[in-house]
Amino acid sequence: MTSKNRKIILLTIIIISFVSILIATFIFAEHLSRKNTPKKIYDVIKNLSLIDHKGDQFNKASLNGKPSLLFFGFTHCPEICPTTLSQLSEVTENLKTPINLTNIIFVTLDPKRDTQDHLKEYIQYFNKNVIAITGQISELKKFANNWNVFFETIGSSKENYNLNHTATVFMLDRIGGFRGTIAWGENEESIIDKIINLNKY
């Protein structure tokens, strides 16, 4: 066997090995993705005690069989929460029916300050399709955990404190299934495309 042939064989082996690794990585990533896919929202909330800003139990009927944009935050949030809710409100409001009827679900991570009455007043500044959710902190943690939402309290004051939290918006189809995310700071054109596609499911 010539030196040239050896190099060709060696190169072929390297290429095959590299492709095999890529395929294995892709399969593992797909498996991991399916494993970590959040449960349908209906399957989660049926075991929780949460209420909306009207004082009604938050359940399957609350979503009226419509697609939803799910976001976790708190009303004392200085930037991310009001910006996100304003952007989602504006985008969905400007889209044609039935897309502009998409639910926007705002789940507080600060139930101590975000009472039902306070949430009701807060969401008046946004789209009429915003549903604000609160409950006991233990219930809210269980709800947030389904989407791997992180949050922590910053500051030692009992009244003046802030929260660090996941700023991702989770997209849910008409039957409550997870259909992707909208990132904090994502451009409006991309958000519009995602919401339009969400309404096709």
CATH assignment at residue 189: 3.40.30.10
Q: How far apart are CA 3 and CA 34, in angstroms?
A: 47
Pair 8, 83 in one domain: no
Pair 130, 166 in one domain: yes
Statement: residue 124 has pLDDT above 50? yes
Instruction: Provide the mean pLDDT of the chain.
Output: 84
pLDDT of the residue at 34: 40
- Comparing 7 with 171, the larger pLDDT belongs to 171
- Comparing 48 with 22, the larger pLDDT belongs to 48
Pair 83, 21 in one domain: no
Tens digit of each residue's pLDDT (9 = 90 or more) over 140-166: 999 999 989 999 998 877 788 999 999
pLDDT of the residue at 22: 38
Pair 61, 122 in one domain: yes
* Structural domain harbouring 6: 1-36
Pair 66, 3 in one domain: no
Q: How far apart are CA 26 and CA 157, in angstroms?
A: 47
Pair 9, 73 in one domain: no
Pair 83, 30 in one domain: no
Mean pLDDT of 22-33: 38
Residue count of the chain, please give it: 201
Residue 29 to residues 33, 36, 40, 191: CA-CA distances in angstroms?
6, 10, 21, 25
Pair 68, 7 in one domain: no
Q: What angle do CA 112, 141, 198 make, to 5 degrees?
A: 110
